[in-house]
Structure 1
Amino acid sequence: MRRALCPVEALYVGQRSRAVLSCEVRGRIDAALLARAFDEVIAEHPTLRARIVPDGAGHAFALLGAEERPRLNVRTGVDTAHGDELNDPLPVGGPLVRATLASDPAESAQQRHILVISVDHAVIDGHSAIAMQNAVWDRYRALVNGEPTAAPAREPGWPAPISSLLPPADEAVTAEHLRERLAEVRRYPVELLPYDGSGSGGRIEIRRLLLDAERTTALREFARAAGVSAHGLISAALLSVARARFDGDAPRVLGCLSPVDLRSRLVPPVPHTEMVAAVATHLHALPVAANPDPVALAREVTAHLRGAIARGEHLHDMRITPEVMRNPALQTATVIATNMGAVPGPRLPAGLELTDVRLVPGREHYFPQAGRSPLMACVVSFDGRLAVELPHHTACFSARFMRAFRDDLRSALLSLSAPNQLPA
Structure 2
Amino acid sequence: MPATTAPPAAQQRALSASESALAATGTPLIISHRLHGPLDRAALARAVDDLTRQHPVLTCRITHQDRDQNQNQDQDQDQGGKEVAYLRHDPRLPAPHLTEHTDFETATAPFPADAPLFRVTLLTESADRHQVVLAVAHALSDGTSCLALFNELWTRYTVHATSSDPELPSPAAPLPLAVEDHFRARFSAQDITDFLAELRTTATTAPAPERLPAQAATEDGPDPGTGSHLRHLHLDPTQTQHFTRTAAEARTTPHAVLCGLALLAVRDQLTSQDRAVRDQLTPQDRAVRDQLTPQDRAVRLGCLTPVDLRPRMAPALPRDHLVFAAATTEAVLDVHPEDTPVDLGRQVWHQLRAALTDGRLDRAIAALPQLMHEIAAAPMSIVVSSLGARARTFPLPPGLTAEPLWGYSPPPGPLPALFSVGTPDGGLTLLLVLPRAWYTPEQAQGLADGLGHHLRQLVETPPQTRVPRTPASPGAGAA
Same topology, TM > 0.5: yes
1:243 shift after superposition: 1.3
**Rounded Cα–Cα distance in structure 2 between residues aligned with 1:374 and 1:25:** 31
Q: 2:289 aligns to what? A: none
**1:97 and 2:118 matched:** yes
1:329 shift after superposition: 5.7
Q: 1:190 aligns to what? A: 209
| Equivalent residues of 2:310, 2:316 under 8 A apart | yes
**Rounded Cα–Cα distance in structure 2 between residues aligned with 1:48 and 1:386:** 29
Q: 1:69 aligns with which of 85, 88, 95?
A: 95
Identity of counterpart residues, as a percentage?
26
Q: 5+ residue gaps in structure 1? A: 367-372
**Rounded Cα–Cα distance in structure 1 between residues aligned with 2:381 and 2:245:** 27
| Equivalent residues of 2:57, 2:174 under 8 A apart | no
Return closer, same or farther for 1:294/1:83 CA change in 2, 3 Å cut-off.
Answer: same
| Equivalent residues of 1:227, 1:299 under 8 A apart | yes
**Rounded Cα–Cα distance in structure 2 between residues aligned with 1:31 and 1:67:** 24
Q: 1:369 aligns to what? A: none
What is the TM-score of this pair, normalised by structure 1?
0.90
Mean CA deviation greater in 141-150 or 353-362: 141-150
Q: 1:23 aligns to what? A: 33
**Rounded Cα–Cα distance in structure 2 between residues aligned with 1:282 and 1:84:** 31
Q: 2:64 aligns with which of 26, 37, 54?
A: 54
Report Cα offsets for 1:295-316 as digits up to 9, x if no partner. 2211010111012111121111
Return closer, same or farther for 1:330/1:345 CA change in 2, 3 Å cut-off.
Answer: farther
| Equivalent residues of 1:222, 1:422 under 8 A apart | no
Q: How does 1:266-345 map to 2 (within 5 A)?
A: 266-328=313-375, 332-340=379-387, 341-345=389-393
Q: 1:85 aligns to what? A: 107
| Equivalent residues of 1:208, 1:387 under 8 A apart | yes
Answer with 1 or 2: which has the greater Rg.
Answer: 2
Return closer, same or farther for 1:12/1:332 CA change in 2, 3 Å cut-off.
Answer: same
**Rounded Cα–Cα distance in structure 1 between residues aligned with 2:27 and 2:415:** 14
Q: 1:5 aligns with which of 15, 25, 28?
A: 15
Report Cα offsets for 1:99-125 as digits up to 9, x if no partner. 1111134x4xxx101111111110000
Q: 2:452 aligns with which of 396, 410, 422?
A: 410
Q: Which one has a larger percent strand, Structure 1 or Structure 2?
A: 1
Q: 2:248 aligns with which of 213, 224, 230?
A: 224
**Rounded Cα–Cα distance in structure 2 between residues aligned with 1:414 and 1:175:** 47
| Equivalent residues of 1:250, 1:289 under 8 A apart | yes
| Equivalent residues of 2:38, 2:400 under 8 A apart | yes
Q: 1:146 aligns to what? A: 163
Mean CA deviation greater in 408-417 or 173-182: 173-182
Q: 2:136 aligns to what? A: 119
1:68 shift after superposition: 2.4
Return closer, same or farther for 1:15/1:66 CA change in 2, 3 Å cut-off.
Answer: same
Report Cα offsets for 1:131-171 as digits up to 9, x if no partner. 10110000111111216433454673422221222261233
For 2:429, what is the secondary structure of its paired residue?
strand
Report Cα offsets for 1:345-365 as digits up to 9, x if no partner. 3221111011231102125x5
**Rounded Cα–Cα distance in structure 2 between residues aligned with 1:330 and 1:283:** 14
**1:170 and 2:217 matched:** no
For 1:2, what is the secondary structure of its paired residue?
strand
**Rounded Cα–Cα distance in structure 1 between residues aligned with 2:392 and 2:92:** 32
**Rounded Cα–Cα distance in structure 2 between residues aligned with 1:184 and 1:345:** 44
Structure 1 stretches of 4+ with a deviation exceeding 6 A read none
Return closer, same or farther for 1:66/1:155 CA change in 2, 3 Å cut-off.
Answer: farther
Return closer, same or farther for 1:331/1:321 CA change in 2, 3 Å cut-off.
Answer: farther
**Rounded Cα–Cα distance in structure 2 between residues aligned with 1:279 and 1:331:** 18
**Rounded Cα–Cα distance in structure 1 between residues aligned with 2:43 and 2:382:** 41
| Equivalent residues of 1:263, 1:270 under 8 A apart | yes
**1:360 and 2:408 matched:** yes
Report Cα offsets for 1:43-71 as digits up to 9, x if no partner. 11122110101144422111244552111
Q: 5+ residue gaps in structure 2? A: 1-10, 68-82, 275-294, 467-479
Q: 1:133 aligns to what? A: 150
Return closer, same or farther for 1:102/1:293 CA change in 2, 3 Å cut-off.
Answer: closer
**Rounded Cα–Cα distance in structure 1 between residues aligned with 2:181 and 2:93:** 32
**1:213 and 2:213 matched:** no
Return closer, same or farther for 1:331/1:217 CA change in 2, 3 Å cut-off.
Answer: farther
Return closer, same or farther for 1:268/1:414 CA change in 2, 3 Å cut-off.
Answer: same
Q: How does 1:238-257 map to 2 (within 5 A)?
A: 238-246=262-270, 247=274, 248-257=295-304
| Equivalent residues of 1:117, 1:133 under 8 A apart | yes
**Rounded Cα–Cα distance in structure 1 between residues aligned with 2:209 and 2:461:** 34
**Rounded Cα–Cα distance in structure 1 between residues aligned with 2:168 and 2:344:** 51
| Equivalent residues of 2:252, 2:345 under 8 A apart | yes
**1:378 and 2:436 matched:** no
Give the total of aligned pairs. 408
Report Cα offsets for 1:59-87 as digits up to 9, x if no partner. 211124455211101227xxxx434423x
**Rounded Cα–Cα distance in structure 1 between residues aligned with 2:337 and 2:226:** 32
**Rounded Cα–Cα distance in structure 1 between residues aligned with 2:178 and 2:446:** 41
**1:202 and 2:225 matched:** yes
What is the TM-score of this pair, normalised by structure 2?
0.80
Return closer, same or farther for 1:326/1:347 CA change in 2, 3 Å cut-off.
Answer: same
**Rounded Cα–Cα distance in structure 2 between residues aligned with 1:223 and 1:120:** 33
Structure 2 counterpart of 1:215, one-letter code:
Q
**Rounded Cα–Cα distance in structure 1 between residues aligned with 2:382 and 2:18:** 21
**Rounded Cα–Cα distance in structure 2 between residues aligned with 1:295 and 1:95:** 44
**Rounded Cα–Cα distance in structure 1 between residues aligned with 2:26 and 2:131:** 24
Structure 2 counterpart of 1:202, one-letter code:
G
**Rounded Cα–Cα distance in structure 2 between residues aligned with 1:395 and 1:310:** 37
